[in-house]
Chain A
């Protein structure tokens, strides 16, 4: 599974420009699903299974897009000013590298600041692509780039940009391959534009019209030196979301996930995330409402170019997802 993860995280696909990721996913799942389509917003929606006794129409969503930047201006000396796509913090940008969709690479640096301890604002940052004039700069206004950082395998822990949320894309791909039998009509949604406001999942969920929905996404941890206080840690298994700042998971869905994990002997953690939300919110609020929850993969340093996950958590997430989808569901 590591090879798949590496391929996914190293593919460039900022929000709205997920095409290359979509092609990787499509090639991976071809033959493993019953039907595939791409909707108006670029979501890849794959159906697997038909509904039998006790089955439901279930939507699962992991987003293909990653955070990135977009050029707003090229100055007379060829420096590129930019704004963000999704939640990019200036402090993770300085000295970082980006890759534009047309292949151009560049480094981010900043204007000189008033004090050595100050953090730059976004307006004070620029990308240097090695050009020396506006005319010769290979980047123009509106061009889009993703952060550039190679995949790092630390053995038990994996590090990369775009772990959020390619790790979940990998988990979903792996789960749909391992899933041999299901009573459900499953829709695996590889969604777009999550980082800019759950936009892809909003329209995909409307189209699928599910009776039950699960997002697969990353969540923060509280296990780093003087970090946020939060009872989720790497290496303790997948997290079952109870709430985040955009959604209250349906308590019946939480119960189903907890009971399934306990029955299958899969360690899990309960998650209350203060800050951020996932595709589950969009799916919960579509049409006349959908019971929704989220399986979260504990991840350190989210939205930095070095997001870290625990490989065992990842494998356990696949197991939990397979367990959840293999048997009939009764929400209670």
Chain B
């Protein structure tokens, strides 16, 4: 069993842009293989892992979804000089891009850096302002013909920041949104490894969350879970995040409360965290959770959903920060919850008047 820190560092060193999750999917698949009974890949590219429960059929199913896809960029154009224009995949603030090292996944991976042309080379309206994404370029330093040979329109581009450890169990890097949750889901499976549980457990690393919530829309249609929990990251307090929307880095599990959180599941997870002394905070979202739960809830005849999050600083930058402690706490809470689920709990996940 891989130490979770090492696994996470591997995860965030891999590409896996939305729609192009194959490299990271293979590594997750290898890690989960000994922990589950069955592995498969959905038509859309989500990884489905099943660890069977022991209660009689028809057995209730819990789906745990953590999206594995990453934000990034995509090549749109190659200039005659061999510089590469690009567009974003997922939401990117163009102000964090200049001077950022990246990797272009052409015929072979190419290292490069995002550059902002100087004011004199840009429209006068851009002078002294943050340069719009359409004017930013990737410079690989290679001759134009070499770039043309190796790179084509539509090639994915990923951040090239190496993982960094900061004191006391903090990890910094790109794509911790949402590989941190993939790691938490892995902790959960590791915890369940030798245990038996009543419910079937479907661990799902979803594809394309950042663009279309595609995995969240399609995987539950195939699996038809009794209950589905999205595991994602949320804003940690820090520079730029000071109000109620920020949770505490290394402050524990974040339980989401809002329209995609079924009240019974929320109550149970909260009570369990208190019982187990796992620190937690509550995050309220008035309308949409911005996670796979938003998609999963309205699949087919509707699915009870819940959102569990990990606090993360500097979301959608190449220097996201999370605490390994929070990852372990989320993994443990989910595992303990699963261990306590009984077939009768299906009747409990209902609405007060029914």
Contact = CB atoms under 8 A, between A and B. Distances in A.
**Of A243, A250, A271, which is in contact with the most chain B CB atoms at under 10 Å from its CB?**
A243
Nearest to B208: A248
A290 B22 CA distance: 16
B74 A242 contact: yes
B42 interface: yes
Given A270-B152, A272-B74, A272-B75, A229 B214 contact: no
B219 A288 contact: yes
B205 to A, nearest CB: 14
A189 interface: no
A289 B41 CA distance: 11
A231 B77 CA distance: 6
Interface stretch (A39-47, A98-106, A110-118, A279-287): A279-287
Contact of B153 (A211, A249, A271): A271
Bin chain A's interface residue count.
20 to 34
Contact of A289 (B20, B44, B153, B211): B44
A289 B45 CA distance: 9
A249 B77 CA distance: 18
Contacts of B309: none
B218 interface: yes
B222 interface: yes
Interface of B: 18-20, 22, 42-46, 74-78, 85, 87, 89, 134, 152-154, 208, 211-212, 214-215, 217-219, 221-222
Nearest to B76: A272
Nearest to A269: B153
Contacts of B134: 229
Contacts of B22: 251
Given A251-B22, A289-B43, 15 more contacts: A231-B76, A231-B78, A243-B19, A243-B74, A248-B18, A248-B89, A248-B208, A248-B212, A270-B152, A272-B75, A288-B218, A288-B222, A289-B215, A289-B218, A290-B44
A288 B212 contact: no
6 contacts: A242-B74, A248-B18, A248-B212, A250-B45, A284-B44, A288-B221
A287 B153 contact: no
A79 B134 CA distance: 43
Going nearest first, the 4 A-B pairs with the smallest beta carbon separation are A242-B154, A248-B19, A289-B44, A289-B218
B220 to A, nearest CB: 9
B219 A251 contact: no
A285 B295 CA distance: 11
A58 interface: no
Contacts of B43: 211, 288-291
Interface string A240-277: 00110011111100100000000000000111101000
A272 B211 CA distance: 15
B261 to A, nearest CB: 24
Contacts of A152: none
Interface of A: 211, 229-231, 242-243, 246-251, 254, 269-272, 274, 281, 284-285, 287-291
A247 B106 CA distance: 20
Nearest to B43: A289
A274 B44 contact: no
B87 A274 contact: yes
Contacts of B215: 289
Contacts of A270: 152-154
Given A284-B214, A287-B218, A288-B43, A251 B153 contact: no
Nearest to B221: A288
A243 B154 CA distance: 7
B153 A248 contact: no
**Of B43, B211, B217, B218, which is in contact with the most chain A CB atoms at under 10 Å from its CB?**
B43
A20 B45 CA distance: 39
A253 to B, nearest CB: 11
A272 B87 CA distance: 9
B218 A285 contact: yes
A272 B85 CA distance: 11
Nearest to A240: B154
A229 B212 contact: no
B19 A285 contact: no
Nearest to A291: B43
Contacts of A287: 218, 221-222
**Of A231, A243, A246, A288, which is in contact with the most chain B CB atoms at under 10 Å from its CB?**
A288
A143 to B, nearest CB: 34
**Of A249, A272, A287, which is in contact with the most chain B CB atoms at under 10 Å from its CB?**
A272
**Of A231, A247, A289, which is in contact with the most chain B CB atoms at under 10 Å from its CB?**
A289
B217 A285 contact: yes
Nearest to A242: B154
Contacts of B218: 285, 287-289
A288 B154 CA distance: 25
A288 B45 CA distance: 11
A75 B76 CA distance: 48
A248 B211 contact: yes
